[in-house]
Structures are given as structure tokens and as C-alpha cells.
Chain A
Amino acid sequence: MDVLTGNAGVFASGFFVTFQIVLLAAVGALVLGTLVAAMRISPLPPLRWLGTAYVTVVRNTPLTIVFFMTAFGLPEIGVDAGFLRIPLLDSLFTRLGTDVPYFRFAIVALTVYTAAFVCEALRAGVNAVQPGQSEAGRSLGLTFTQNLRLIVLPQAGRATVVPLGSVIIAMIKNSALAGAFGVAGDLFQTSDELTSAQGLPAIPVFIGVAAGYLILTVPLGLLLDRIERSQAVTR
């Protein structure tokens, strides 16, 4: 217990770094995943093909490999993911702007990987909308994007909330890999620091770290349960 209370500040700052990573990666994955889903259901075969290829490759690659690619591959070709140094946002999330690129790489890796799962969750929701709905939209003369925005996605929305939530929960847990790939001071790397460098006992340290992840995932899971129940009633 002393280990936890004595290092509360270290745990808190680790938690905060992890929180930043998952927040940014979640936004990135939702945006990229929506784009890939739009490609996969687009009427244009080349876009469909590209979307399908993305999902097939990324979904079937171990996340560790994706992290290796970003943490070691990107520097080799001279990329430091500088496009993530977004003005204003980098004053809120200060690590976005630093010269050490690993925080940005972690966000890239998690975004790229999770987007494939976001895409599939969205696509399942879209497929659950009766095809007659989009046919009616098309026959009114709505364009593909209007039809998606006005008719299909609003109806797919409810059906996608719970699967999307599960994808994000998985992503939060996956974010632990960031600490193993160069991000200093996230929850996971904190544990390494406390046990290896400072020689603290492993069990209490890892209990503290696990608690940090649970604080993020459990409320989200409970929220999803509630949404699922409320959908069951109104259906």
C-alpha cells in the first residue's frame, strides 16, 4: 500500500499521459475509420478495393508489428509524424509538439490499427439498416454522401454505439504498448520505471497500473451496458 500512496504522483502523471494518448488516438481512429468505411461502401470499385485492402491488412497484423513499423520504420525513412504538431492542440497536449517523436508515433500506430476495427463496426451498423432506406434515398436523387449522412448513418448510429465502444475499450488496453515503444511516463512505462529502476516490488506497482487502466475502461463498459439496455427497451 505504501508503494501506491508513496508514488501517487507518479501514477497520476502516468495515468494522464495514457489518457492523452487514448483520447487523441480515439478521435483519430474514429475519423480514419469513418473514411475507410465510406470507401468500403462507396459505389466506386477502386475506393472499395482500397478500403477492403486496408482493413484486411491492418486487422490481420499484430499490433506489436504496427508499433515496430512506426517506432523504428518511420524514423528510418525520415518521418517524425510532424503533421501531428497541430497548432493549439499541441499547447493542450504538449507532447504532440516535442522533438521526441514517440508520443506521436504511438498515436499514429493506435489510430491506424484501431481505424480498421472502427470501420468494421460502422459497416456492420450500416449493413443493419434496411437496404430499402438507401434505395429510397438514391431514387430521390440524393448523392452518395447525402444518402450516407441523412439516411443511413443516423439509422446506423444506434446500432454502432456498443460495438464502437468495445473497439475503444480494446484500444485503451492496447495503448499499454506505447510505453514499450519509447513513450516515457505513460502508465505502463511508469511500472517499468518503478520496478526496474527504483526496485519497488512488482505486485503493488502493477496493481496500481492496472487500476489506472480500469479507471478508463470500466466506466466506459458500464456506460455501454446502459446504452445496450435502453436500446433493448425501445426496440
Chain B
Amino acid sequence: MAERAGEPPAAGAGAAAGAGAAADTEPAGAPLVVLRGVNKHFGDLHVLRDINLEIARGEVVVVIGPSGSGKSTLCRAINRLEPIEDGEITVDGEPLPEEGRALARLRADVGMVFQSFNLFAHKTILQNVTLGPVKVRKVPAAEARSEAMDLLERVGIASQAGKLPAQLSGGQQQRAAIARALAMRPKVMLFDEPTSALDPEMVQEVLDVMISLARDGMTMVVVTHEMGFARRAANRVVFMADGQIVEQAAPESFFTAPSSDRAKDFLSKILTH
């Protein structure tokens, strides 16, 4: 972050820590995820316009913005579920490989949590969590199982281990999906609207798991409109509109005093309901 100290985002991250936000320590060292000059089109639609973003180790970045502004695409570009046309994305210093085994290896280090959970429908919760470690990391089955049970314990659904995803509530499924991603011991976790598909009474149980992850120092990129989460756990809020990063700031200053008109307009809309 040091070399960017003069720029608003870095100052924002610093202000977040200073303002007493959740993170105890100022993120330090070389950035873990870097996007430089990233562009992407869907046909004629320019969904990502010259995106520049650096995410430090241990930093929690919340991405917010109107529907269709490119938040999901940005998130998915970081593990190349969406290929980009232009620019560069690096994770822990390594540029994203094009395809094949190298890409698979890099994806193993990047956890992803989807809006619709996407648990493997034909496998039990436990099998969902052990599959990656066993097949990708080649962890012995017994070891993977005991680590998976620890993770399921941590997200509070150890008693559901033998069930199929369809037998769980949405909140439980999403916590299982978080456990599945964590089982790979990822360097960074991506969350694309993890609570948007949940019934309201289940949102908090998922946010609680995410907040505790953030406290433990996990590097996280979280697309969400949950301001409570942003205030309690994020170092920085990135506001996107029309495929561009319009503004970035510490959560408190973004929510109380957004500087762009787009952000003011957007916040007035989500605050009124």
C-alpha cells in the first residue's frame, strides 16, 4: 500500500483503521491481488472499463454499486471464470494463466462463494468440503475429513455433514459453501452477493461467519449491499457504476459522505428501503 499512499484508496484504507473499523492492523506488504487496466466487453456492452485495483494481504474490500454495474464480472475475472480482453490480473504476484492446469492451480488458491451457493447437488455436505482438498491438493482422505469436520464445526453446521445440500436451509448451504472454499486454504476469498438469495432471517448467520473470517485476517473481496457488514468488517468500500470504479473510501466516510453524485444517488436509493 505504501507506494500508493498519495492516492485516495490507500488513504481510505488507513482512515478505516484509524476510524476504529473492525480490522486491527493496517494491511502491509506487496498487494495480494492486482488488477491493472482491465477491460471486458459482453458483445457491445463494455462491462469493465479500465479497472485498476490493488488488494493488500489481509484487506477486506467491499464492492458496491447498482445492478448491472459489473461487480459480479469483476469478481469472476479475478479467478478467470470470466476471461478479460485487456489488462492484467495478478494473484500473489502471478499473472492469471490462460487455461489448463496452471489456471486450475491458481484457482485453488482463490476461494469463491456464489450467490446461489452452488454446492455439488449429488454430494453430501462433508463430500462437498473434502472434494477439493482430496482431488486438487491430494490430501489423504482421513485427514481431509477431519479438517472438513473442523471447518463445518466452525461455521456451525457439523451436525448436517451427512446430508445432501437440498436438505439444508439457504443459510446453512451458504455456510457449507464457505467451508468448502476455506478447505482449500485459499489466499483470498471472493464473495459475490453471498446473502442476496437468502431469506432475511438467515442473512446474519452467514454475515457472522464472514465477519469472523475477516477478523482472522483473511483477504476478502465481497460484493454486497450489507452496510452493516461493510461497516464492521471492511477496510475499504469500492463503488462501481457502469463498469467503472467511481469512488473508493473507508466504509464510514463512504456511507456518511460519498464524494461522487453517482454514489450519493445510489446510497439514497438503498437507504430508503
Q: Which residue of A lies closest to B110 (CB)?
A: A139
* A155 & B136 in contact (Cβ 8 Å cutoff): no
- Which of A8-16, A141-149, A184-192 lies at the interface with chain B? A141-149
Known: A139-B79, A139-B107. A150 touches B135 (CB 8 A): yes
A133 partner residues in chain B, CB cutoff 8 A = 118, 120-121
Whether a CB of chain B sits under 8 angstroms from the CB of A138 is: yes
Cross-chain contact A142 with B114 (CB below 8 angstroms): no
State the CA gap A135–B99 with chains docked (Å). Answer: 14
**Residues of B with C-beta under 8 A to A141:** 104-109, 132, 136, 184
Residues of chain A within 8 A of B106, CB atoms compared = 141
Asked if B81 is an interface residue, CB under 8 A from chain A, the answer is yes
Q: Which of B100, B107, B180 counts the most A-chain CB atoms under 10 A from its CB?
A: B107
Given A132-B114, A136-B114, A155-B121, A143 and B101 contact (CB-CB distance below 8 Å): yes
Chain A residues with CB under 8 A of B105: 141
The closest CB in chain A to the CB of B107 belongs to: A141
* A140-B114 contact, Cβ under 8 Å, with A133-B120, A146-B135, A154-B122: no
Complex alpha-carbon distance, A61 and B179, angstroms: 51
Q: Which chain B residues border A151 with CB–CB below 8 Å?
A: 120
- Say yes or no for A204: interface residue by CB 8 A criterion: no
Alpha-carbon gap, A138 to B108, bound state (A): 9
Please state if A150 and B108 are interface contacts (CB–CB under 8 Å).
no
A143 to B181, CA, bound (A): 16
For residue A28, CB closer than 8 A to chain B, the reply is no
Residues of B within 8 A of A144 (CB): 100
Chain B residues near A136 (CB-CB < 8 A): 112, 114, 118-120, 177, 180
In the complex, which residues of chain B have a beta carbon less than 8 angstroms from the beta carbon of A130?
Answer: 118, 121
Contacts of A140 in B (CB 8 A): 107-108, 131-132, 136, 180-181, 184
The answer to whether the Cβ of A6 comes within 8 Å of any Cβ in the partner chain is no
A233 at the B interface (CB under 8 A)? no
In the bound complex, CA of A136 to CA of B122 (Å): 13
Smallest beta-carbon distance A132→chain B, Å: 4
| B124 on interface, CB distance cutoff 8 Å | no
Q: Which of A118-164 contact B (CB under 8 A)?
A: 130, 132-133, 135-144, 146, 150-151, 154-155
Is A199 on the interface with B (CB-CB < 8 A)? Answer: no
- Binary contact track B115-158/A, C-beta < 8 Å → 1, others 0: 01011111000000001100110000000000000000000000
Q: Given A135-B81, A136-B114, A150-B131, does the pair A142, B119 have CB atoms closer than 8 Å?
A: no
Interface: A87 (CB within 8 A): no
Answer whether residue A197 sits at the interface, using C-beta atoms and an 8 A cutoff: no
Residues of A within 8 A of B180 (CB): 136, 140
Residue of A at shortest CB range from B133? A140
Minimal Cβ-Cβ distance residue in A for B136: A141
How far apart sit A183 and B19, CA to CA, in the bound complex (Å)? 86
Quick one: which of A44, A138, A139, A154 has the most chain B CB within 10 A? A139
**Is A43's CB within 8 Å of the partner chain B?**
yes
| Chain A residues with CB under 8 A of B181 | 139-140
Q: Which B-chain residue is minimally distant from A134 (CB atoms)?
A: B118
**Per-position contact with A for B21-43: 1 when CB-CB < 8 Å, else 0?**
00000000000000000000000
Interface hub of A43, A44, A132, A141 (most chain B Cβ within 10 A): A141
Chain B: minimal CB distance from A47 (Å): 11
- Inter-chain CA distance A209–B104, complex, in Å, is 55
Chain A neighbourhood of B132, CB < 8 A:
140-142
A150 to B100, CA, bound (A): 17
Which B residues touch A43, using CB under 8 A?
99
In Å, the complex CA distance between A43 and B118 comes to 21
Bound-complex Cα distance A130 to B166 (A): 14
Interface residues of B (CB under 8 A from A): 79, 81, 99-101, 104-112, 114, 116, 118-122, 131-132, 135-136, 177, 180-181, 184
- Which 6 A-B pairs have CB atoms at the shortest separation, nearest pair first? A141-B108, A132-B118, A136-B118, A139-B112, A140-B132, A141-B136
- Between-chain CB contacts (< 8 Å), 17 pairs: A130-B121, A132-B118, A136-B177, A136-B180, A138-B104, A138-B107, A139-B81, A139-B107, A139-B111, A139-B181, A140-B180, A141-B104, A142-B104, A143-B101, A146-B136, A151-B120, A155-B122
Beyond A140-B107, A154-B122, 4 extra complex contacts between A and B, CB < 8 Å: A133-B118, A135-B81, A136-B112, A141-B104
